């Protein structure tokens, strides 16, 4: 009987220890912007940094696609997640995901999507795009289509449109006359402006990629996470490495709010 009781006690302690460890662990998810090996390399320095600051393990759980990333953030199977603006809205609507911070790129905490044409193109206005060919990037990047429709032209007014991947592909395709026009992120559009491409239309300022917490994260931990992200200092070499690992164009994180995403809600509404 004594041996049996000792066995039960040991099993209880082991079970309690496992539960306690699990409670001390936080899971970090992400949209699949690269193959898993690349995303792991990009986010591992950040999770190591968070583990140190939170004094608990932060482990990666990479999502295979956008839908999975949204569901995991909404259902709470990840505690923290790196999401696109539209993915945040979906996770917020489905499971009350909470914003922690937004990314800052080259000093800007917002971005624009821009319609570009070849520099010598006869196209002078968005209405001139009717009957023309148009290049988009990723088919899953709903905000690109939403920005174009928001500019005043419907998708069915194009002669043809195709999804051809990265912004570099779009810029070169328009330059090579493969398409009459295309959509670029502002940084890419400015890079090509005056060097073969012309900006035809710019969207309003849009909130960028963000870091969110699931509804399971306590207010105390949410505030702690906000403080950690907002205090990442680009002037500190070690912290800059953490920031640049996520994306080499980033130089920090900024405070944000759900209201900032109302412009995205407005743009994507016709697609819902």
In a domain, 266, yes or no: no
Whether residue 267 lies inside any domain: the answer is no
Q: Residues 214, 99: one domain?
A: yes
CATH code (residue 142): 3.40.190.10
269 found inside a domain: no
pLDDT on residue 7: 52
Q: Are residues 101 and 225 in the same domain?
A: yes
- The whole-chain average pLDDT of the chain stands at 91
22 assigned to some structural domain: yes
Q: What are phi and psi of 208, to 5 degrees?
A: -90, -165
Task: Say if 225 falls within a structural domain.
Answer: yes
Mean pLDDT, rounded, for 162-180: 95
**Residue 246 · residue 42 · CB < 8 Å:** yes
- Reported as a single tens digit per residue, the pLDDT across 24-80 is 799 999 987 778 888 999 999 999 999 999 999 999 999 888 889 999 999 999 999
Q: What is the average per-residue pLDDT within 141-154?
A: 95
Q: Is residue 131 part of a domain?
A: yes
State which of 161, 178, 202 marks the end of a domain. 202
Tokens of 182: 């295309």
Tell me: do 95 and 214 sit in the same domain.
yes
Residue 242 has pLDDT above 60, yes or no: yes
Q: Are residues 19 and 96 in the same domain?
A: yes
- Cβ neighbours around 35 below 10 Å, total: 9
Instruction: Let me know whether 89 and 221 are in one domain.
Output: yes
84 and 128 share one domain: no
Which of these three, 138, 170, 202, is where a domain ends? 202
Question: Would 67 be classed as within a structural domain?
Answer: yes
Q: Confidence class of residue 226 from pLDDT cuts 50, 70 and 90? A: very high
121, 108, 260, 117: which is closest to 201 by C-alpha? 117
In a domain, 7, yes or no: yes
Q: Which of 209, 213, 206 is nearest to 96 (CA)?
A: 213
- How many domains does the chain divide into? 2
Residue 107 is classified by DSSP as T
pTM: 0.82
**For residues 267 and 143, is the Cβ–Cβ distance under 8 A?**
yes
Q: What local confidence, expressed as pLDDT, does residue 145 receive?
A: 96
As to burial, measured by CB atoms within 10 angstroms (0-12 exposed, 13-18 middle, 19+ buried), residue 2 is exposed
pLDDT over 90 at 218, yes or no? yes
**pLDDT band for position 126 (cuts 50, 70, 90):** very high
Same domain, 74 and 151: no
Indicate if 67 and 140 belong to the same structural domain. Answer: no
Domain encompassing residue 226: 2-105+210-257
Are both 41 and 63 inside the same structural domain?
yes
> Same domain for 40 and 85?
yes
Q: What is the pLDDT of residue 71?
A: 94
Which of the four pLDDT bands, split at 50, 70 and 90, describes residue 252?
Answer: very high
């Amino acid at each position: 009987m004594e041996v049996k009781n000792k066995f039960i006690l040991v099993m209880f302690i082991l079970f309690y220890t496992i539960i306690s460890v699990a409670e001390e662990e936080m899971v970090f998810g992400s949209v699949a912007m690269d193959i898993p090996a690349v995303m792991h390399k990009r986010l591992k320095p950040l999770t190591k940094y968070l583990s140190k600051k939170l004094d608990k393990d932060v482990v990666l759980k990479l999502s295979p696609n956008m839908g999975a990333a949204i569901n995991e953030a909404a259902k709470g199977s990840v505690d923290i997640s790196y999401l696109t603006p539209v993915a945040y809205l979906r996770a917020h609507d489905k499971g009350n995901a909470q914003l922690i911070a937004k990314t800052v790129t080259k000093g800007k905490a917002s971005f624009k999507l821009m319609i570009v044409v070849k520099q010598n193109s006869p196209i002078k206005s968005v209405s001139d795009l009717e009957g023309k060919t148009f290049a988009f990037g990723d088919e899953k990047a709903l905000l690109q289509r939403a920005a174009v429709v928001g500019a005043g032209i419907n998708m069915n007014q194009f002669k043809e449109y195709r999804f051809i991947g990265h912004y570099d592909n779009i810029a070169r395709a328009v330059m090579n006359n493969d398409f009459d026009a295309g959509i670029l992120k502002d940084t890419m559009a400015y890079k090509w402006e005056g060097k073969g491409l012309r900006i035809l239309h710019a969207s309003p300022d849009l909130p960028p990629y963000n870091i969110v917490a699931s509804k399971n994260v306590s207010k105390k931990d949410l505030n702690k996470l906000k403080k950690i992200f907002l205090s990442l200092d680009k002037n500190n070499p070690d912290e800059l490495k953490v920031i640049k690992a996520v994306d080499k164009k980033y130089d920090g994180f900024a405070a944000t709010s759900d209201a900032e995403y109302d412009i995205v809600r407005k743009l994507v509404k016709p697609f819902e």
